[in-house]
Amino acid sequence: MKRGWAMALGAVAVGGLFWMSLYAWSPFKISQADAFNGLFSQGREGGNMAYIVAQLRVPRALCAALVGACLGLAGALMQGITRNRLASPSLFGVTAGAALGLALFSTGLVALPFAGGALLMTCLGGALAWVIVFSLGGAWSPAAAQGRLVLAGVTVAALCAALTRLTVILVEAQAQSVLNWLAGSLANVGAAQLQLLWPCTLVGAVWAMFCAPRLNLVNLGEDAARSLGVGIASLRLQVFFASLLLVGASVCAVGPIGFVGLIAPNIARQYLGNDYRWLIPASALLGAAIVLAADLLSRAVAFPVETPAGVVTALIGAPFFLYLARRTR
């Protein structure tokens, strides 16, 4: 019952933040009545402000919620498969690798002559970074030190970030658009990004829930999980591809937003325990709430100028990481 109430509270928080994001801190004078009308009308019959809400604010709020859910799910999966509470897409270099892949695609240095090339490049970049981190960190060995894996992730993330900046310097003509995207902003998202995000989020969420019972067994130790019939190699591959899809979709849509995959699963674990059947959906809800709140704060900090949501999550996430690292030392 406690877990059910916690999930309900998380859903209410997401709903409240979603509602506020439709009208709060807008350069236009949008009332709550306009926001309500905008939710149920796509044309101009509800008025100009309702039309703005329907065409701009609703897709933006939905994208923020879906990006947060993607990152929360990916963080929960990574922490489950590595049994490391510090694991997350940003600290393992997956986000930075995905950003590098999309930067190469966006600047034309790597051309893919088919639809979906951007998503494929983000997934490939994230995959390469993850493989390097796991190899350097010795994650394939049961006796590997957890700190070594995090150190490898931070190193690879820094390398990918440097290569991304080099890519931007080499292609000056598109530097400004790529730099805006690299900040992790939700300012320019719309229907196109929403159409990319929702199927990836749905597939990733279903995939994550399918892995949840086996992650519970892995939490007992890999030897115990094997004795109970869990194929560790198969589970690692499933978590690998599910996480890449989730992170790749979020980076492709709004750019790299860090620390959400670290914060959401750890807060959920604090209240719901280590049962991944509850932890995974709770991480998705908390991730959605965090990104929605960060988007609201990004508008409020220097209103009417917008601060990228990725900056807000970094300001919150960096102290949280230091606190968590100290607790788990």
Q: What is the mean pLDDT of the chain?
A: 87
Q: For 84-93, what is the mean pLDDT? A: 88
- What architecture is the 1-184+191-328 domain classified under in CATH? Orthogonal Bundle (1.10)
Per residue in 69-81, pLDDT (tens digit) is: 999 999 999 999 9
> In this model, does residue 324 exceed pLDDT 60?
yes
> In this model, does residue 329 exceed pLDDT 60?
no
Q: Where does the pLDDT of residue 271 fall: very low under 50, low under 70, confident under 90, or very high at 90 and above?
A: confident
> In this model, does residue 56 exceed pLDDT 60?
yes
> In this model, does residue 50 exceed pLDDT 70?
yes
Cα gap 26→319, rounded to integer Å: 29
Cα gap 302→307, rounded to integer Å: 7
pLDDT at res. 12: 94
Q: Where does the pLDDT of residue 35 fall: very low under 50, low under 70, confident under 90, or very high at 90 and above?
A: confident
Which has more pLDDT, 171 or 84? 84
> In this model, does residue 280 exceed pLDDT 90?
yes
> In this model, does residue 143 exceed pLDDT 60?
no
Structure tokens at 221: 């130790």
> In this model, does residue 144 exceed pLDDT 80?
no
310, 184 in Cβ contact below 8 A? yes
Question: Quick one: how far is CA 142 from the chain centroid?
Answer: 27
> In this model, does residue 106 exceed pLDDT 90?
no
Q: Which residues of 81-106 are buried (b: 16+ CB within 10 A; e: fewer)?
A: bbbbbbbbbbbbbbbbbbbbbbbbbb
DSSP H/E element including 188 = none
Cα gap 233→224, rounded to integer Å: 14
Q: 3-state DSSP call for residue 6?
A: helix
Q: For 232-256, what is the mean pLDDT? A: 92
pLDDT at res. 86: 86
Best CA proximity match to 213, nearest among 261, 278, 293, 276: 276
Structure tokens at 17: 């933040």
Structure tokens at 210: 């399918």
pLDDT at res. 113: 67
